[in-house]
A and B are shown apart, each in its own frame.
Chain A
């Protein structure tokens, strides 16, 4: 929306995250008590649901962490470059549609061809879904916050159309696709569980992004553009528009990949409401992780546990699962508050230090 966004995005690390978790915990327990629930029962159900058994840990928590890590990386990467991609949800769905389409159309081919093809086409679809907001920002100066959100709603309707139209199951009863064939499904990481290789891919991508941000020229440029577009311009060596273009599409690609992991690794079919809002939860994941790729991996697993445990909390303590998205919003607010606290401490400290510095200089 033609707003000059010129903000320094440095969310501060481990202490801020710990403080934010503490704040969230206190407020969440307070809200549970206020809602008339027993927080002890709720918490033990949460923990048992998330990690009470190897089955819960590997087949629920870690499986759920895969889309959270991938969309979390998508958001963290974009935010680092000052790209406000709130559209991971839509990009995930674009990837899921493309992935299931390839899985259905090319399911006769051997797995070592189909699976990479599914992942490739899905991430491309996610990037294409991000292309419209990208071009609208770069060519027309339309602020991407609104456009990416609007694209989410369009994607959700597109899924609705696909699963009740061109891609509907052959029986034609339910609004869902047929199951993709075995060769288009992701191989299991640990046999006997539902944990698929998507988890390993997510970990590797987290590490790879960390390396890219830390020690490549592109990673450096990306962060300069994110922290100070003016500085990037002044150097004369950084093409800000190009960096934003590449980052935005890469972010969309990561979210699209999350969609592929879901249809090819967990559900094996596409239906409406496939994602319980992972693309939005991803924002909480990325911020709590301080926009650090390896942090995203850790927080993604933590949130996977939270979502995994939420089901048990609903069954055993009667607490609606909808609480979880409330808690995720609380996490974001707590990170913001804790980060303002960090800045305040840093400022007062530097003010105290300033007289000494000036006597030297």
Chain B
């Protein structure tokens, strides 16, 4: 019986930890399909965490936090998009700067607001919503169908985006911009406009992911995004730019992160740093084993219009 309870809590933790990865990776999938790789995703995540915390405190509601987090993440992505789409700057370097700036400014704002040492905040909890009937399934029910609303949002977005990408004209245009911007433009698609909003949407999703992180742990900690933005970038690759597979890949990494709790519960004597490093190691291993078979959008990371000099 103890094993069953352990399995349930492991699965539940996998979903809980996989949700922010799934949300951020789904957003990134949209911007990468439009040809923009956003290394600044981490910046949107941490801004979403701080914005989510401040919003949730201001309105004393978790939903307020999610909305404020989404806005903060989108705002950071607007800065990124203004540079890479507006000024046509290098996407990698700009994204790195956005991540550094995001981590720096959220730290500065947090310290300015709550003092240099920082204080633990008390955020309204992200209460779980059981799905009628399904949550009664033994073992799986409590793990998968008694989750925070953000978990259902991630799954719904995965399905919605899959449909949008491959079954609508909107998706065709988006993918055309990422595969061949010149052809897309010739067909009358507004390339830069598409790239701009796709990037901002990516930041918005990362912001929701950040807000989930803060609300889920009940407080904001400087640098709490902990590299999830970068893991999300890898999740997009592993999910082969397909929203449904992206959700699956994110759950896999959620499971990897959840291992640390189960291993500790089982009393395994392995240094805890190993489990903290495990998601990054697994990401590296997965990239090594997987990338050869994955093909990114052709125009990914290429500025457009192309200029010489």
Contacts and interface: CB of A to CB of B under 8 A. Distances in A.
Given A2-B294, A322-B108, A142 B288 contact: yes
Interface string B279-301: 01101100110011011100011
A343 B307 contact: yes
A205 interface: no
B101 A322 contact: no
A141 B277 CA distance: 23
B256 interface: no
A147 interface: yes
Given A3-B300, A340-B89, A140 B83 contact: no
A146 B230 contact: yes
Contacts of B309: 8, 343, 346-347
B268 interface: no
Interface of A is mostly: helix
Nearest to B105: A326
A313 to B, nearest CB: 11
Interface string A154-175: 1001101100110000000000
Given A149-B227, A322-B108, A332 B96 contact: yes
Given A320-B112, A336-B87, A280 B271 contact: no
Greatest chain A CB density within 10 A among B283, B287, B294 is at: B287
B104 A328 contact: yes
Nearest to A337: B87
Contact of A329 (B90, B100, B292): B100
A333 B295 contact: no
Contacts of B259: none
Interface size class of B (residues with CB under 8 A): 35 or more
Nearest to B37: A3
A151 B234 CA distance: 13
B104 A324 contact: yes
Contacts of A1: 233, 237, 287, 291, 294, 296
A2 B295 contact: yes
B107 interface: yes
B104 A150 contact: no
Interface in B76-98: 83, 87-90, 92-94, 96-98
A302 interface: no
A336 B89 contact: yes
Interface residues of A, number: 57
Contacts of A3: 37, 296, 300-301
Given A157-B276, A157-B277, A325 B100 contact: yes
A281 B99 CA distance: 12
Contacts of A132: 284
Interface in A98-156: 132, 136, 140-142, 145-147, 149-154
B245 to A, nearest CB: 15
Interface string A280-295: 1101100100000000
Contact of B291 (A140, A145, A160): A140
B284 A320 contact: no
B271 A165 contact: yes
B103 interface: yes
B111 interface: yes
A284 B93 CA distance: 9
Interface string A308-334: 000000100001101111111110110
A336 B94 contact: yes
A13 B98 CA distance: 23
A71 B231 CA distance: 24
A7 interface: yes
Given A3-B301, A336-B83, A141 B273 contact: no
A323 B287 contact: no
Given A2-B295, A149-B230, A332 B97 contact: yes
B224 to A, nearest CB: 14
Interface in B14-47: 37, 39
Contacts of B37: 3
B97 A329 contact: yes
Nearest to B234: A146
B291 A320 contact: no
A250 interface: no
A164 B92 CA distance: 35
Interface of B: 37, 39, 83, 87-90, 92-94, 96-105, 107-108, 110-112, 116, 222, 226-227, 230-231, 233-234, 237, 271, 273-274, 276-277, 280-281, 283-284, 287-288, 291-292, 294-296, 300-301, 307-309
11 contacts: A3-B301, A140-B287, A149-B227, A150-B227, A151-B284, A157-B273, A287-B93, A319-B108, A327-B104, A343-B307, A346-B309
The 9 nearest A-B residue pairs measured at CB: A329-B101, A325-B104, A322-B107, A326-B104, A332-B97, A320-B111, A157-B277, A161-B273, A329-B100
